[in-house]
Structure 1
Amino acid sequence: MKEFFYTYSEREDLMAIRTDSESFSYKKLFELSEITARKIISIISTEQTYVPILSSNSSEFIITTIALWNLGLVPVPLNTRWTEKEISDVIFKNNLEVILFEKEFAVKLNSVRIKKISFDDLFNSHSESFHKKNNDEAVVIFTSGSSAEPKGVVHTFDSLANSIMNGGKILNQSIGDRWLASLPFYHIGGFQIICRALSSGCEIIIPTDLRFESIKNSVSNFKPTHISLVAAQLKRLIEEKIKPDKTLKVCLIGGGFSEDNLLIEAARNGWNPIRVYGSTETASFITAANAEEIIAKPNTVGRAVDNVRITISSEGEILISTKSLLKNYLNDEKAINEKIKNDFYHSGDLGKIDDNEYLFVDAKRTDLIVSGGENINPIEVENALLKIPSIKEACVFPIQDEYWGQIVAAALVINGSIDEEFLKNELKKNLASFKIPKKYFFVNELPKTSLGKIERDKVRKMFV
């Protein structure tokens, strides 16, 4: 289904990419991609298949991605926030042989012992002729690694296209709409911004960077019709009283927990927020809920979008069946067999579905704390902590204990000072005694992914 993303490749009248310094049409984009493919073929063997890219969001990234597609090669965007060691480990463990990179990140490749080609060198190299090749695989996106070693999720053109079609009613895309590239391209939410735009002839607006000021300026200056944000970004936009243009159709809110009140307030301010739930493995969102649904069904992540079937296992795990599921994990046959059984993806999340088919996500199975034989959901404890006005951020995790097996601990970012006895008394109003943390750690900040999700495993390792 590669042609799904090439539909508008001849349109000279249709804007494809816009940045602060440049803009060009769909025809120009695909012409540049073809020129780049000729340059790639002169320095990279097409036998290598998987080609990692270390780059910020840029027109060069998109051009290079389409160029690799033309050659039947598969782009593997790497997280630019990874350390030199993390990048080296991923490249080594997945037998990757060549990397394309933006010069800004050259320092992170010092210990990488494979062929390294900067964008500057690539675009200045000579050209060779090539024949377009087909490959059903479109991209490898690594999971965030917030609780385990990153795994390379292999998606096909079919799975990416099916995700877009499944969410078609939510996205409501039209030719000439404007997508703000507000999430990093190395995450599925960011990469799908490219794919959604290509599939419908939308303009991709690329901010100078993904800092808040750049996002804010792009919202004001370019008036996107479609935005995808995490809760932290949306919260700050509202706090600074930024309002979108009336042409905004939808603002997807994913990437982890988002407060009901935040989305309800966003709706009042014209953001048209849609809380979505999905994962790298599902090629982005598979459920959606607007503000009215959240008011009616507090904490819901919505109902399944078209062509998605969700069930709950006897153990409470969320199981998902849809044509947007991953093809496999890169170099990990065992993992795919564990995660997909009888056409259902085992999400690792615990949840429930009500009588009206609304899904509620409780926790990740691997995050559950078992203390004295009692199962404790850390998200429930975090929500109770966050109701206390002095607490800005909370992360709840287990500490091994000889008597209880595990005890509940909490790392907190607070305003001012707070007394542990006061904390416990406040929590008793909402939690059973066995759920109340027995240890508290006060920190200035909590480690987060680039999407603003607290990295629970890293927090635990700080104190265990």
Structure 2
Amino acid sequence: MLEPNWLGRLAAYHPERRALWFRGRWLTYAEVYRRARRAAGFLADRGVVRGDRVGLLAWNHPAYLDLLFAGPLLGHVLTPFNHRLSLGELKALHAYTEPRLLFYGEGFQETAQALDREALPLEALQEGGEAPEATRVGLEDPVLLLFTGGTTGLPKGALLPYRQLLVNAVQTAFAWGLSREDCYILATPMFHAALNALATPLLYLGGSVVIQERFRPEEYLDLALAHRPTLLFLVPTMFQMLLETPGFLEADLSSVRFAISGGAPCPAPVREAFQRKGVRFKQGYGLTECGVNCFTLELEEAEAYPESVGRPMPHLKARLVREDGEEARVGEAGELWLSGSAVMQGYFRRPEENEKVFAYDGERLWLKTGDLAYRDAGGRFYIVGRRKEMFISGGENVYPVEVERALYDHPAVREAAVVGVPDPRWGEVGVAFVALREPLEAEALRAFLRQRLAGYKVPKHIVLLPELPKSGPGKVQKEALKKMWEAEHGQA
């Protein structure tokens, strides 16, 4: 039986081992566990009981892990809010999830108290007495309520149980070849999947995590030089920003065993720039609802097949389903369905949304990811984009990811995103939104694409922007780009 309160075991096994670095000092495993027990004690004194949501609005901070590891001792559900959202959006999410308590970090007092007049500073979590160590939860109890990307409408809250957290930690540790000697800098937002992408798997093994409050590329390089991380885990935008940071070319990254890009396909020029510095690269894939690492690939194979996300994790099954419900053939795109112990319980208070994403095949439950992928003859999977992003131009399917990869092959392209828009002649055509490193005419870029893509895949329109809009986790917001186009040109 898996043990939800595994941190208590590790604190007993190696209490003085370094666990978390934050603001200039290391916290040992014993200290991290004491913080969790004090947090649980404070929550209990405030009347929090099993199943209550506890909200957090803050930059990256150990308080996220205080509340996460306090969960088995009390049974509450950590509900982190995206601090990049507007007050109106946060109010809607607060009303949806109804947290019993809300904690805020530096700079967020006014916003938090607009949501809840009784909101508390996160330092209050350490003012309680230590809660008893008795585990009060089972593997199917929820531990995290994480919001999906929410490109349209109110984001949904995915309920992740202890079963998911533990299975993800175990299979990530072993399938990715992690060890207790590994260290990484946690720079992606902790209100998102960063908590269980690499932090919990590493801590599960006894490794160490350096917390960066918010991503600043210059500071990240300084932290890398100071702490000699063995792993890098960032989204493509962050890797790109590192490349453009003064000092990157001279930075010593020889301690890094490999880098993992998540959130979106990483452009080839970015991967190749890190590889020239001796940093080996893997492409990751995951989603909040199947939290969060779904595929794996050995380093040598990842370098031979750089566009592939690999094969399913050991305790995860994958299938590709065509529009007609049949299995996609080798090389044919289909919607990716996943099944296994890492799948969420469901969306919080959204039964109608659960009906859309869950499907049963006999007794097996499948999660419809909404992502399109294909599989090669070797069983390796390749993500080609969101199902809703694919468009049909002149009767032919166009996958924006394929076009974006071709755009990134041009040395002048810094960022690129492709969306489909209505067209009176072709039904739909592509619009490429591009941010450049250096001046380039749109027609020159289109001519470059014609050498690499079939004519129907070449965007009919190219829009040059200083930069592309992004979400909190660093993903390009394609819905915002589409609305920008519609506002100027109409929908047809």
Q: Same fold (TM over 0.5)?
A: yes
- Equivalent residues of 2:145, 2:158 under 8 A apart: yes
- Whether 1:119 aligns to 2:109 is no
- Equivalent residues of 2:92, 2:154 under 8 A apart: no
- Whether 1:297 aligns to 2:302 is no
- Equivalent residues of 1:276, 1:289 under 8 A apart: no
Distance 1:222 1:418, change over 3 A: closer
- The structure 2 residue matched to 1:218, chosen from 223, 227, 231, is 223
Q: What amino acid is aligned across from residue 196 of structure 1 in structure 2? A: P
- Equivalent residues of 1:325, 1:345 under 8 A apart: yes
- Whether 1:336 aligns to 2:381 is no
| Aligned match of 2:419 | 397
- Whether 1:385 aligns to 2:407 is yes
- Equivalent residues of 2:335, 2:373 under 8 A apart: yes
Identity of aligned residues (%): 22
Q: How does 1:38-117 map to 2 (within 5 A)?
A: 38-46=41-49, 49-109=52-112, 111-113=114-116, 115-117=118-120
- Equivalent residues of 1:6, 1:199 under 8 A apart: no
- 1:243 deviates by 4.8
- 1:73 deviates by 0.3
CA offsets, 1:249-306, max 9 Å, x none?
4432211111345435534534333221111112122113455324433421222232
- Whether 1:306 aligns to 2:314 is yes
Q: Name the SS of the counterpart of 1:397 in structure 2.
A: strand
- Whether 1:7 aligns to 2:12 is no
- Give distance in 1, aligned partners of 2:276 and 2:430: 38
CA offsets, 1:212-242, max 9 Å, x none?
1222111110112333122233344456125
Q: How does 1:21-40 map to 2 (within 5 A)?
A: 21-40=24-43
- Equivalent residues of 1:178, 1:225 under 8 A apart: yes
Distance 1:394 1:231, change over 3 A: closer
Q: How does 1:255-270 map to 2 (within 5 A)?
A: 255-270=263-278
Distance 1:148 1:306, change over 3 A: farther
- Whether 1:287 aligns to 2:295 is yes
- Whether 1:352 aligns to 2:374 is yes
Distance 1:302 1:115, change over 3 A: same
Q: What amino acid is aligned across from residue 9 of structure 1 in structure 2? A: A
- Equivalent residues of 1:5, 1:195 under 8 A apart: no
- 1:396 deviates by 1.4
Q: What amino acid is aligned across from residue 106 of structure 1 in structure 2? A: Q
CA offsets, 1:174-217, max 9 Å, x none?
33542322222112134443322331122221235321122211
- Long gaps (5+) in structure 2: 324-333, 487-492
| Aligned match of 2:444 | 422
Distance 1:261 1:372, change over 3 A: closer
Q: What amino acid is aligned across from residue 8 of structure 1 in structure 2? A: L
- Give distance in 1, aligned partners of 2:213 and 2:144: 24
- Long gaps (5+) in structure 1: none
Q: Name the SS of the counterpart of 1:9 in structure 2.
A: helix
Q: What amino acid is aligned across from residue 10 of structure 2 in structure 1? A: Y
- 1:459 deviates by 1.2
| Aligned match of 2:148 | 143
- Give distance in 2, aligned partners of 1:269 and 1:420: 32
Q: What amino acid is aligned across from residue 340 of structure 1 in structure 2? A: F
- Which shifted more, 253-262 or 275-284? 253-262
- 1:392 deviates by 2.2
- 1:116 deviates by 1.5
Q: What amino acid is aligned across from residue 392 of structure 2 in structure 1? A: V
Distance 1:227 1:95, change over 3 A: same
Q: Name the SS of the counterpart of 1:277 in structure 2.
A: coil
Distance 1:453 1:208, change over 3 A: closer
RMSD: 2.6
Q: What amino acid is aligned across from residue 262 of structure 2 in structure 1? A: G
- Give distance in 2, aligned partners of 1:2 and 1:129: 16
- 1:3 deviates by 3.0
- 1:5 deviates by 3.8
- Give distance in 1, aligned partners of 2:147 and 2:40: 24
Q: Name the SS of the counterpart of 1:167 in structure 2.
A: helix
| Aligned match of 2:137 | 134
- Whether 1:326 aligns to 2:351 is no
Distance 1:111 1:462, change over 3 A: farther
- 1:397 deviates by 1.4
- The structure 1 residue matched to 2:428, chosen from 406, 417, 425, is 406
- Equivalent residues of 1:263, 1:273 under 8 A apart: yes
- Give distance in 1, aligned partners of 2:269 and 2:412: 18
Distance 1:177 1:418, change over 3 A: closer
- 1:246 deviates by 4.6
Q: Name the SS of the counterpart of 1:312 in structure 2.
A: strand
Q: What amino acid is aligned across from residue 384 of structure 2 in structure 1? A: D
CA offsets, 1:340-363, max 9 Å, x none?
212222111111111111111112
- 1:244 deviates by 5.2
Query: TM-score of the superposition, structure 2-length normalised?
Result: 0.86
- Give distance in 2, aligned partners of 1:205 and 1:70: 25
Q: What amino acid is aligned across from residue 162 of structure 2 in structure 1? A: F
Query: TM-score of the superposition, structure 1-length normalised?
Result: 0.90
